[in-house]
Amino acid sequence: MKKFSHIALVLLTIFTLSGCSTAKFPQNANNVAVVNRDASYTANCKPLGTVSSEINPWEWFGLVTEAQSQVIFDMRADAYERFGADTIILNHMGQFNGSATALKCFNK
């Protein structure tokens, strides 16, 4: 019985962790740079539009820094999917939400 409990615990852990790794993230969105408003190289970039993200704090069980990372993750993906952006400038960053301007800075 002890061996069965151990195997069940291992399988439960694997299924739980694999659920966390199924987030949809466009492959090339990894190349979307995140910069603050004072970044000098963005002066010659083409503005494409605004992206934003918000996480419900009542459903979030992690740290605030993890929530902010998720918000940025979502904005990068949105900027790439909607506009083909390669850079976002953070306009606002709260604990559970944020907004950014999507830019095209590099010709690829």
Q: Which residue pairs, CB below 8 angstroms and at least 24 apart, start in 61-68? A: 64/95, 64/96, 67/95, 67/96, 68/93, 68/95, 68/98
Assess whether pLDDT exceeds 70 at residue 45.
Answer: yes
Assess whether pLDDT exceeds 50 at residue 31.
Answer: yes
Q: What is the mean pLDDT of residues 8-21?
A: 45
Tokens of 6: 């151990």
Largest CA distance in the chain: 67
Domain ranges of the chain: 25-104
- Do 104 and 48 meet the contact criterion of CB atoms below 8 Å apart? yes
pLDDT single digits (tens) 73-91: 999 999 999 999 999 999 9
Topology at the third CATH level for domain 25-104: Translation Initiation Factor IF3 (3.30.110)
Regarding predicted confidence, which is higher, 59 or 79? 79
Burial class (CB in 10 A: 0-12, 13-18, 19+), 76: buried
pTM of the model: 0.71
58 in helix, strand or coil? coil
